[in-house]
Amino acid sequence: MVRKSYNLLQLMGTGEFSEVYKCIDTSSTNSFGTVSAIKIIDKLKVNNKLRLIKRELEILAKLKHVCRNKNDHHLENVLQLQDYFMTSNHICIITEMCLDIDLYDLITDKKHPVETDQYVFVLLDAIKFLHSNGILHRDIKAENVLLRNMNALNNENDDLMDGSPVLITCHSIVIADFGLATRVSDKDSLTEFVGTLSYIAPEVLLCNPKKLVGKDKKAKPYGFKIDIWSLGVLAYFIAFGYMPFDCETDEETMECIQDASYYLDLNDFTIEETTVANRKIFKDFLEHCFEKTPEKRFSIEELQAHPFIANCESLNEMHNSNLKINKSTASLSSFLFSDPSANTPELIDSIPMVQQVSLNTDHLSTATTSRRSSIASIKSPSTGLYRSKSAELMSSTRSRESLKNMLISSQNNSLMNLPTIHKLHQQKNESKQAAISSSGDNEKVEFYL
């Protein structure tokens, strides 16, 4: 008989079908217990979405299996699955415990320096690992990038007492929340209209069922390049602290994404010491991420060769993490070789049934939940997509009308150091474009319209 016992310590966040708690596995051989995160999914609430849970577990299990067998370091930047099981009322997923803040908090708090090139370098490497294993994340965003305490990883006992210093670097990042992830081999899933609106690529918008009219109108499958677009949005957010495409309404935001129209002020870098030359290089990097046509958008390999992150290669040599890939107590084989098109009742046979489990709430804190979940992502009633909490971070009043007024102002006053609205589907030599130059510190800064 399988017995498991967990003390629930603190509510970390709530979702549409689940709650996530900080917990201690009291059945662990570790005398202090193993601190983990437990996602408790209510079977009644999830109902006909069991297939999505199966897919999420399958992906996490596969990644762990690949890393453990090949001694691959890439799991360091992907959330580590520790265990999963089912009770009569719940499905429970146990993962490693990360810090109480995520990348969104790190960017907006401005208490730690977040070097855009270094964080993008590590994110690119992690996304490349996912893609090389046939996995499309579909929801890359700041809230889904968790953080590890590097001091805890480098500690011999893999544990640090409360109050110990926290070390956050670009190597701390952990890509999490594979709830929308899919395998690229699952062709039917590649026309699903899913994601977070602020980060979504134009080709995903074309899968909006409201826009598909007529019996013969079918959505075109998308591919790995949608994660590239999302990475570009995240890189922009890290660099400037606000979002490139968000407007006052969902419809306006979707128009900006579809047109690849975005606001860019190279003087707005959060790290003011960034040189003019590096700002221009970053602008070029963004243009390749925000290419409307997926076939023209840069690949992972092309972005990794871009000058923007050319000086980050040494980061791999400097990093020596002691992260341990723990062996899950659950069998992976049933997931690794399961049929993705199988009926959802088979999930019941795939997840180990725990005959005796204790989820003890005696130690549950009544304190405020972790800030990572303080502003939960919610679904937009108009689109059915998730809205990111970063959507409210706009550089100015981002209505289409205000963007047009900005454009007119910049054309009427070429001496002003104004931001720009990019129309990336236009070539720079078109007559509609203009360059505005201003002198400062003996350096020339260009803004393109």
Active site residues: 139
3-class SS at 442? coil
Q: What single letter denotes the amino acid at residue 295? A: E
Rounded distance, CA 263 to CA 395, Å?
8
Residue 170 backbone dihedrals phi, psi, to 5 degrees: -65, -25
Q: Buried b vs exposed e over 363-381: b needs ≥16 C-beta within 10 Å?
A: ebeeeebbebbeeebeeee
Residue 231 backbone dihedrals phi, psi, to 5 degrees: -60, -40
Rounded distance, CA 195 to CA 176, Å?
14
Phi-psi region of 260 (alpha: psi -120 to 50; beta: other; left: phi over 0): left
HSE of 441 in the Cβ direction (CA atoms, 13 Å)?
6
Q: Buried b vs exposed e over 278-292: b needs ≥16 C-beta within 10 Å?
A: bbebbbebbbbbbbb
Q: What single letter denotes the amino acid at residue 291? A: E
Q: Token pair for residue 282?
A: 């970053």
Q: How far is CA 163 from CA 113, 151, 152, 166, in A?
A: 21, 12, 12, 9
Q: Token pair for residue 303?
A: 């972005």
Bridge partners of residue 145, in order along the sequence: 175
